[in-house]
Structure 1
Amino acid sequence: MRVLLSTLGSRGDVQPLVALASRLKALGLQVRLCAPPDFARWVATFKIPFVPVGPSWRRSAAPRPQAAVPRPSPAQVRQLAESSVGIQFEVLSAAARDCDAVVASTGLQIAARTVAEKRGIPYVFTAFCPAALPSPHHPPLPLPALGEVPAPASADNRELWAANQRHVNDTFGAPLNALRATIGLVPVDDVSAHIHTDQPWLAVDRTLAPWPDAADRTVYQPGAWLLPDERALPPELTTFLDASDEPCVYVGFGSVAAPPGLLETAVKAVRAVGCRLVVSRGWAPLSLAVRAPDCLVVGEVNQQELFKRVAAVVHHGGSGTTTTAARAGAPQVVIPQVYDQHYFARRVSALGIGGAHSGAVPTVESLTAALSAALRPEVADRARAFAAAISTDGAQLAAERLTTTLRS
């Protein structure tokens, strides 16, 4: 049996599927991963067959201009929708040709369920944030890239989800149903419900980001799909960490765009709280104009190990980085930029394991204040205690559930 795992997104969307794929392989299944072309080389290191889909995701992490990016016109949105649905169907149809199930993540995969229906195989949708799934307990995650206008803070969650449903239908309903008609499938009335299904999976830790309705058994939440990392830290990084009694602060924004001037601001703020700085270059990429003895820029390293050795983690609030920092027991300062990052920033703050920075672009003063709060002993104590609550078997549970379903 073979399972197609598919996503359109950043490293935070791809890595959990690699974790699930690894568990499925250990259970005797074959896997294939469909994702943006940026991740082909990395996925190949796990000996997982890879199929590229869509444009390079790395372009989304390019440095942002000072001026706000204009909202796309309705015509541009329609053109994007028609093109993306067609490309997705073409690529996923070929990738799923000899597969027995499709597991898709992110709501931008409009054609994935249609591919599974056409082949007559099971389809599973998984989210990596509770707010990606409809609930009266939280608002939907906005998609400004698709022309969605941010809702007023006073709006009711049910009204927001209804508006989100209309927007998704208006954007993708026509191209999706035109495609379905050409292959003999019935039209879809509610595109969002079609994508999410009535029994979605939620691959995020149950303590860090619980589904808000404990009585709702339609959402399966096995826990976060964590990919074990056994790599040793580079010698240069280990030497830097051991070189002084002054604690280190990690700053990194992974595979998303960093706010303007982040590194210059971080250097001054970290020094102001008496710490040294470890910077993850990421996709931005972040770099120092002048080398300094209290600052080190690193590339791809084992965050699971590094976060255990820093006093605080400053990051964008992606699901993967938030979970890794929480599991390491490191206090966090979250500077959310887009999508689910605002949700995780609020959760970090509510749990008392760090703080949510107000605003997407920090100043020296605001970041210094946020770091000072995160470095308080009581926050560090809560972060260390919370680490024990993070489960590590989410990918295994999900793999076992899927394998049982396919073999029954």
Structure 2
Amino acid sequence: MRVLLSTYGSRGDVEPLVGLAVRLRELGAEVRVCAPPDEDFAQLLAGAGVELVPVGRSARALMTGAPPSPANLPQRAAELIAGQFEVVTAAAEGCDVLVATGAMPAAAGARSVAEKLGIRSVSVTFQQLTLPSPHHPPLAYPGRPFPPEVTDNRVLWDLDARSIDALFGEALNTNRASAGLPPVDNVRDYVIGDRPWLATDPVLDPWLETPGLDVVQTGAWILPDERPLPAELVAFLEAGEPPVYVGFGSMPMRASQDAAQVAVEAVRAQGRRVVVSRGWAGLGLIDDRDDCFGVGEANHQALFGRVAAVVHHGGAGTTTTAAGAGAPQVVVPQGVDQPYWAGRVAALGTGAAHDGPVPTFESLSAALRTALAPETGARARAVAGTIRTDGATVAAKLLLDAIG
């Protein structure tokens, strides 16, 4: 069996595929991954012994550069789609199945390639907000807000389909025509299909049954991390009470130094030490006091089990890792699906949802008081026992059974 996993996005779009790839190889499949050419993605895949087929431009460069505008979003989408047709077509030759995820235009291109080659494809999402449902509204694209007077989720999903067609339809169908494929009249529904996979934990992200959509929820695809923590970090952890972790992953946070200043001061005001993760925001230490430690790439599965709380951006992967470690959370959402994960953390009682993307000393201090309360810690530990760890195994078996 040969499997191609295709994505375009941040680390949260790549790391789950590594978890799935490892499980697929254990079951005897040959696996390769199409993903952006960023060095940290290449290292992540190389560490797991998985082949990377680079596609498109650096995801980090795109995310930390000028934000997309209504004018350039279709152009970016056209570039992504063309790259998928060029690279994924070659990578998918001889494969039995293609798994498509990541940015909508990239997934549309990847599924079109599978259609062209006559191989099975599966659409996967790592959060349910891209799946049409009357139980929640869709996410709005930059520069295309929904009318504030429209509150019916069904109407909003119709508007979402039209918006996606306007942004991506022409580029997709131009490439499909060049490949000898018929046009697609509903890009979103083409990408999702009638049986999409939802690779999230059912406790953190409960899916409500929706007519016309047969969603397969596998559990989150977690790659077990066996890396030891750096010796200097271990020494810091052992030198006092558990610190608070602060990091915003792949989010650029343009006011990064201000964010670091606010975060460190707010944590210190709670009488806690701090671990600051650089991430794509480039967070740094604000002084040379010994109650603060800076880290780069580190094993979050090991680290989060040794901290008093995790302050983060609310990516699906970080939220799930913190939940599995039993760490209370403060989610400072920067955009996209992150407000949803912040709300889930608050609803479960395992932490606090910060109101908005820019923390102040006062607002972050209030959120930290909630997260560091004894009852929040107890609830976080209780929920940790319910988080599934077999999602990647479940998905790998489903995938191989389907093509077996």
**Does the pair score TM above 0.5?**
yes
2:96 pairs with one of 100, 111, 124: 100
Counterparts of 1:386-405 in structure 2, within 5 Å, are: 386-405=383-402
Q: CA deviation at 1:40?
A: 1.8
Map 1:161-200; keep pairs closer than 5 Å: 161-200=157-196
- Structure 1 segment 80-99 matched on structure 2, within 5 A: 80-99=76-95
Post-superposition offset of 1:263:
0.5
For residues 270-281 of structure 1, what are the structure 2 equivalents within 5 Å? 270-281=267-278
Are positions 1:241 and 2:243 aligned together? no
- Please state whether the residue corresponding to 2:217 is helix, strand or coil: coil
CA-CA distance at 1:157 after TM superposition: 1.3
Q: Which moved more, 1:286-295 or 1:392-401?
A: 286-295
- Structure 2 counterpart of 1:128, from 126, 129, 134: 126
1:59 aligns with: 61
RMSD value over aligned CA atoms? 1.8
Indicate if the aligned counterparts of 1:8 and 1:108 stay in contact, CA closer than 8 A.
Answer: no
Counterparts of 2:90 and 2:254 in 1: how far apart (Å)?
38
1:26 counterpart residue number: 26
1:48 is aligned, of 50, 66, 76, to 50
1:256 aligns with 2:254: no
Counterpart in the other structure of 1:210: 206
Question: C-alpha displacement at 1:254, in angstroms?
Answer: 1.0
CA contact (8 A) 1:249 1:277 kept: yes
Q: Give the Cα separation in 2 of the matches to 1:2 and 1:142.
A: 36
Q: What amino acid is aligned across from residue 19 of structure 1 in structure 2?
A: G
Show CA shifts across 1:341-393 (max 9, x none): 11101100111111110010000111001000111111111100000000011
Deviations 1:261-314 (A, max 9, x none): 110001110011110000111122111243211100011111111111111100
How far apart, in 2, do the equivalents of 1:122 and 1:287 lie? Answer: 46
Taking the aligned partners of 1:19 and 1:37, their CA distance within structure 2 comes to: 18
Shift of 1:179: 2.1
Say which of 111, 114, 124 aligns to 1:113: 111
Whole-angstrom CA distance in 1 between matches of 2:211 and 2:159: 26
Compute the TM-score of the two structures, normalised by the length of structure 2: 0.94
Change (3 A) 1:62 1:188: closer
Pick closer, same or farther for the CA change 1:389–1:281 going to 2, 3 Å. same
> CA 1:269–1:282 in 2, change beyond 3 Å: closer, same or farther?
same
- Cα distance in 2 for partners of 1:281, 1:124 equals 34
Q: Secondary structure at the match of 1:3?
A: strand
1:298 aligns with 2:295: yes
Partners of 2:402 and 2:232 lie apart in 1 by 47
| TM-score between the two structures when normalised by the length of structure 1 | 0.94
Aligned AA (1:59): A
Is 1:385 aligned to residue 382 of structure 2? yes
Please point out which of 309, 313, 317 is paired with 1:316: 313
Q: 1:178 to 1:405 in 2, by over 3 A?
A: same
1:63·1:258 contact (CA, 8 Å) conserved in 2? no
Q: Aligned letter for 1:288?
A: L
- Structure 1 ranges of 4+ moved more than 4 A: 214-217
Counterpart of 2:162, as a letter, is R
Gaps of 5+ in 2: none
Give the C-alpha shift of residue 61 in structure 1: 5.0
Report sequence identity in percent: 55
Q: Give deviations 1:228-272, integer Å, cap 9, x for gaps.
A: 011111111111111123x31000011221352110001110011
Supply the AA of the counterpart residue of 1:16.
Answer: P
Determine helix, strand or coil for the equivalent of 2:265: helix
Separation (CA, whole Å) in 1 of partners of 2:173 and 2:105:
16
Q: Which residue of 1 aligns with 2:360?
A: 363
8 Å CA contact 2:261–2:286 kept in 1: the answer is: no
1:60 Cα deviation after fit: 4.4
User: 1:116 is matched by which residue type in structure 2?
Assistant: A
The one-letter code matched in structure 2 to 1:46 is A
Amino acid corresponding to residue 265 of structure 2 in structure 1? K
The whole-number CA distance in structure 2 between the counterparts of 1:398 and 1:241 is: 36
Residue 13 of structure 1 corresponds to 13
Change in 2 beyond 3 A, CA 1:275/1:224? same
What residue in structure 1 maps to residue 326 of structure 2?
329
What whole-Å deviation, never above 9, does each CA across 1:25-45 have from its counterpart, x for those lacking one?
A: 000000010001011232112
Measured against aligned partners, the alpha-carbon deviations of 1:64-109 in whole angstroms (never above 9, x if no partner) come to 8xxxx58332xx3333333322222111111111211110112232
